[in-house]
Structure 1
Amino acid sequence: MPPKRPATGSVLPRKDANLRIVSFCLATALVFFASSEVFARNAQRHGPRAVSDRDFYDNGRPDPLKVELGRLLFFDKVLSGNENISCATCHHALTDTGDGLSLSVGEGGVGLGLTRNNGFDSEAVHERVPRNAPPIFNLGAREFATLFWDGRVSIDEDGYFISPAGSDLPEGLDNPLAVQAMFPVTSGAEMAGQPGENAQADAAAAGDLPLVWEIIAEKLRGVPEYVDRFAAAFDDVDRASDLTYVHAANAIAAFEAHEWRFDDSPFDRYLRGDRGALSGAAKRGMRLFYGKAACGNCHSGTFQTDQGFHAIAMPQIGPGKGDGIDGDEDFGRFRETGDPDDRFRFRTPTLRNVALTGPWGHAGAYDTLEAVVKHHLRPRRSLLRYDRTQAVLPPRADLDALDFRVMDDPGKVRAIAEANELRGRNLRKSEFQDLMTFLHALTDPAAQDLRRDVPFSVPSGLPVLD
C-alpha cells in the first residue's frame, strides 16, 4: 500500500505545523533584527549621528568661572527693571528650562510655573507674553545659529550676527545664545517693566537698547561680589568700569550651554553603539519616525531639527504679535523676512527631552505630547477641532477675552489652515504608541532632576524665590 499523503487543503500533522510556525517566527525576528541593524548603520552614516563635544562651543567645556557667574546672573532679578523677575522665572530648572505654561506670565506676575499668577493691583502684568517660552536644552551646540520662534537672531553668511538691535548690537558676543540673552531684558512684558516704572523700562519703551544694557551693567557694577566674579572670569575686566552687559550675556550663555547640555538619552546611547539601549517598541517607533510617519523630514540632523521654518497649522492662542488687521495674529517668520510664503512659519524645535518640554507649539497650544503629535499627523483637522482645554493660561478676565480671538474668527483660522505645508499621515494605534515610546526615549535621565542648578542665593541679595 503506498504511503498516505495529506490531501490538498488538509491540515498538516501537528509536529510539522509547529515546526513551520517556529521557523516563520525565527525568520521574522531575524528580518526585524537585521533591518534594525541596517537602519542603525544607515542612521549613523546618512542621518542622525551621535553627539560629541565638537558639536558645542568651547568643545563643550566653557570656563567654569564663567559658567558659575552665568548661573548666578540667570537666577538674579537684578537684571529686570523692577527687580522682580529673572531669566529663570520663565526658563526654570524646576520646570525643565521652560515654565509649564502655554504663554509666559512675565514682569509683574507672582509664583513659578503652574502656580504663577498674573500679579496684583497696579503691579500686575499688562499682557501675556505672546509666545511660548522655548526650552534651552542643548542650545549651546554650534548648529543652533538661529534662535527665537521667528528666527530673529541668526548669523549671516559672512559670520555676522543678525538681531533686532541691528547696528546697535555691541561687539564681543561669543555666540547666538549670548546674543539671545541680550533681548528679554529689553522687553516690557518680559523683564523691563512699563514706562514710568523704572529707567530700564523707559529706555526700552524708547527703543534705546544700548541704554537698557548700560543701566543693567551699572547695577551689576554696584555689587562687589559681581565685580570680583566678572574680573575672575573675563581677562578684559579689571575693575568695575570694565564690566558691560555683553560680559553678562556671555556668562549666561556659558551657563546655559554647559549645564543644560543633555545627550545621553537611550537614543544617544543607541547611536553610539549600544544596541540594547532602545526597547523593541522604541526601535519600531524610530523606524516610523524616520519612515512612514515622516517626522524626520523636518526633525532631522543631530538634534532632530532642520533649523528651518514650517507652517503646520498650529492653533493661535493669546494676544498675538500685533499682526493682521486686528493685531491679534502672529505671522511668524514673515515678520523677519517680509516674504508672504513665510507667513505662519515657525522654527523647527529640537526634540531632545521633548517629553519634558510642554506645552508645545509656538503659542503653547498643546498641553500633552500625545495631542501635539496627533496634530502633526492631522494638522488641518486638529486646527479646526482644537480642544481649548489644552491651553494652560492663568485666568484673568481681560486677558481671557483675548486668548481665543483668532480661533473664534473663521477667516483667520482658514488662513492658518491654507498655509499648512504638512501632509497628513495615517498610523495604526499600535504604531502611534511605538512612536510615542521613541519620543520618550529622547529624554536624557539626567535632565529629569535639575535641582542642583538653582542657587540658594544671588550676589544682589534679591530673593531667588518667585
Structure 2
Amino acid sequence: MTAGDLPPPLTQADFIPFEPAQAALGHSLFYDTVLSGNRNISCAHCHHPDLGTGDGLSLGIGEGGQGLGPERTPGTGADRVRKRIPRNAPGLWNLGARDLSVMFHDGRLSISDIYGNGFNSPAEEWLPTGFNSLLAAQAVFPLVAQFEMAGNPGENEVIGAVHDRIDNAWPILAKRVRTTGDYGSRFVAAFDHINAPEEVTIVEIANALAAFMAVEWTSFDSPFDQYLAGDSSALTPNQQAGMALFYGDAGCSTCHAGALMSDQEFHALGLPAFGPGRTRVFDPYARDVGRMGESNRLEDAYAFRTPMLRNVALTAPYGHNGAWPTLEAAVRHHLNPQAAREAWTQADAALPEIPWLAAVDFVIQNDRLEMARQAAVVPPDARALEERQIAQIVAFLESLTGSTVDTPPFGVPIWFQP
C-alpha cells in the first residue's frame, strides 16, 4: 500500500457551516417529545449518543415504546407498539459533510432537481423549499412516519394529516413547536428572516435540527485521521496492518471509498433477512427489497447504501437490519457472505421480546421463493484471510473512533427523560 491508496484527510472545510444559535435550538428540539404525534418519543430515543447515536438494537422500538436502547420496552395496552422499525437506526456521524448526496438505507432521499425543490424524496413535489442541507431535508421524514414518531391513525391530528397527504402534517407540528414554551422567541432570535413566532415553519425546525446534529456529531479527530494528517505514530502496528488490508487485499475500500469512507452507492451483500421489512404496497408483509423499492430497477434488488465508517466501533449492531452484533462478525460477512449467512442464527439479532409481534420477526425465512431470490444476489466471491488479519482489520476500524466523541459541544440535556 502506498500513500496514494489512502483518502485525503477530512478538514472543517469539508463540512457545511451552521449557525450556533440554530444548533442550540436544534439541541432542545432533538431531545424534546414535542415533535412526535403523541408527544411520547424524541429523535434521541432512537439516536442517543450513549449508544453511538443509534439505539443499540437491530430493529428499533418506536412510537409507543418506553425507555432507551436495549432496555427499551414495547409499551402496554392500546399504546403499545404495532410494528418494529423495519430497519436499523443508523449513526449520525458526519452528516453535515458537503459531499454527502444521498441518505437512508435505500437512498430514498437524494440531492436532485427532479421536483424543483432540490431533492428527490418521498414527499416528491410536496416537499417545501428552504432547507439548509440534505440533513435538514432528512429530518422531516421520521416526524411523519407512523411507527417512528407520528403514531397510529385515530391517535392524534398529525398522523391523520399524514394519511391525507404527507405535507399536511408539517404545519401542525410547526404550530405546536412555536407555541410551546419559549420556542417561538428562540426561533425569532436564531433566524434572521423570522420576525414573529407565527412565521416558523417545518423548514426552520428542520434547519435547526440539522445544525445541531452536524455541530454535535462532526468527527474527524480519530487516530486514523491523525495518521492521514501526517502523524505516522497515531496508529499501532496492528492498526496499520489492518489499514493495509482495508485498502489492499481485503478490498474494503472498493465501496468504503474516499474521505467519507463511502462510495454513496448501493450493494447487495446478502445479509440474513428478518423483521417486518420496509415494504411497498404490493409486497408480502415481511419483504425488504432495499434500493429497488426506490428505483424500481431489478438490478437494485436487496442492495443497500454503503455506510460511512467514522466511529463505526460505537454503532453496533451492523447492517441495514442490524443482523451482526459485532464488528468482527460484520467483517467476516463482507469477506465471505455465503458462509456468514449459513452461520447466522436468530440469536444474533438484538430484538427485545415483543410477544404480539414474534410471529412476524422471522417469518420471511419460511418463504422459500423469497429466500431463493435473496440468495441469488449474495456475492459469490470469498476472500480468504487469516484470523490475525481479520483481527487487524477490526483493530483498524476501531482506530476510526474520534478522540473527542465523549465531549461533544452540547451533550445530553439534564432534563431529558428516556
* TM-score after normalising by structure 2: 0.96
Moved more, 72-81 or 408-417: 408-417
Aligned to 1:24: none
Q: How does 1:153-232 map to 2 (within 5 A)?
A: 153-156=109-112, 160-206=118-164, 208-232=165-189
* Structure 1 residue 449 displacement after superposition: 5.6
Q: For residue 393 of structure 1, give the secondary structure of its aligned residue in structure 2.
A: coil
Can you list the C-alpha shifts for 1:56-114, whole angstroms capped at 9, x where unaligned? Answer: 112xxx21101100000100100001000001110012211100000110000000011
Please give the secondary structure, in 1, of the residue aligned with 2:414.
coil
Bigger Cα displacement from structure 2, 272-281 vs 445-454:
445-454
Specify the alignment match of 1:265 in structure 2: 222
Please show how residues 442-461 of structure 1 align to structure 2 within 5 Å. 442-448=400-406, 452-457=410-415
Match of 2:393 in 1: 435
Q: Which runs of structure 1 show a deviation greater than 6 angstroms over 4 or more consecutive aligned residues?
A: none
3-state secondary structure, aligned to 1:57: coil
Following the alignment from structure 1 to structure 2, what is the Cα–Cα distance between the partners of residues 128 and 67? 30
Work out whether residues 54 and 90 of structure 2, in 8 Å CA contact, stay in contact via their aligned partners in 1: yes
Percentage identity across paired residues of the two chains: 43
Task: Give the Cα separation in 1 of the matches to 2:47 and 2:239.
Answer: 29
C-alpha distance after superposition, 1:293-318 (max 9, x if no partner): 10011011101100000001011211
Partner SS state of residue 359, structure 1: coil
1:358 matched residue in structure 2 = 316
Is residue 368–residue 390 contact of structure 1 (8 Å, CA) maintained in 2?
A: no
Q: Residue 100 of structure 1 contacts residue 113 of structure 1 at CA under 8 Å; is this kept in 2?
A: yes
* Per-residue Cα deviation, 1:405-447 (whole angstroms, up to 9, x for no partner): 1223343222222112463211011111111111111111222
Where do residues 14-413 of structure 1 align in structure 2 (5 Å cutoff)?
39=2, 41-43=3-5, 47-58=6-17, 62-156=18-112, 160-206=118-164, 208-323=165-280, 326-413=284-371
Kept in 2: contact 1:376–1:422 (CA 8 A): no
Kept after mapping to 1: 8 A contact 2:10/2:225? yes
The one-letter amino acid paired with 2:136 is A
Secondary structure of 1:446's partner? coil
- Is the Cα–Cα contact under 8 Å of residues 203 and 211 in structure 1 kept in the other structure? yes
> 1:145: how far off?
1.3
In 2, the alpha carbon distance for the partners of 1:408 and 1:445 equals 45
Cα separation, 1, equivalents of 2:131 and 2:291? 24
Q: Distance in 1 between matches of 2:81 and 2:180?
A: 28
Unaligned segments of structure 2, at least 5 residues: none
Q: Bigger shift: 182-191 or 383-392?
A: 383-392
SS in 1 for 2:184: helix
For the 8 Å contact 1:181–1:252, the answer to whether it is kept is yes
Bigger helix share = 1
Q: Secondary structure at the match of 1:219?
A: helix
Contact 2:216 2:409 survives alignment (8 Å): no
1:414 paired to 2:372: yes
Total equivalences in the alignment: 415
Distance of 1:92 and 1:84 partners within structure 2: 16
Cα separation, 2, equivalents of 1:446 and 1:334: 38
Residues 183-222 of structure 1: CA distance to partner in whole angstroms, max 9, x if unpaired? 001011000101111100111223x222211111111121
Per-residue CA deviation, residues 352-408 of structure 1 (Å, 9 max, x unaligned), is 111110111111111111111111111122123322111011112221211111223
Asked if 1 retains the 8 angstrom alpha-carbon contact of 2:142 and 2:148, the reply is yes
Instruction: Tell me the amino acid that sits aligned with residue 264 of structure 2.
Output: Q
Instruction: Tell me whether 1:465 sits opposite 2:400 in the alignment.
Output: no
> Which amino acid is 1:276 matched to?
S
What is the RMSD of the two structures over their aligned residues, measured on CA atoms?
A: 1.6
Could you tell me whether the CA contact under 8 Å between 1:96 and 1:450 is conserved in 2? no
The AA in structure 2 aligned to 1:71 is H
Rounded Cα–Cα distance in structure 2 between residues aligned with 1:251 and 1:197? 27
Deviation at 1:181, TM superposition (A): 0.4
Q: Which ranges in structure 1 are unaligned for 5 or more consecutive residues? A: 1-34, 458-463
2:383 to 425, 432, 435: 425
Provide the rounded CA distance (Å) in 2 between the counterparts of 1:149 and 1:325. 18
Q: Deviations over 1:231-257 (max 9, x none)?
A: 111111111111111100000001111
Q: Hey, what's the Cα distance between the residues in 2 that align with 1:217 and 1:147?
A: 23
Give SS of 1:406's match.
Answer: helix
Q: Which amino acid aligns with 1:52?
A: T
Q: CA deviation at 1:121?
A: 0.8
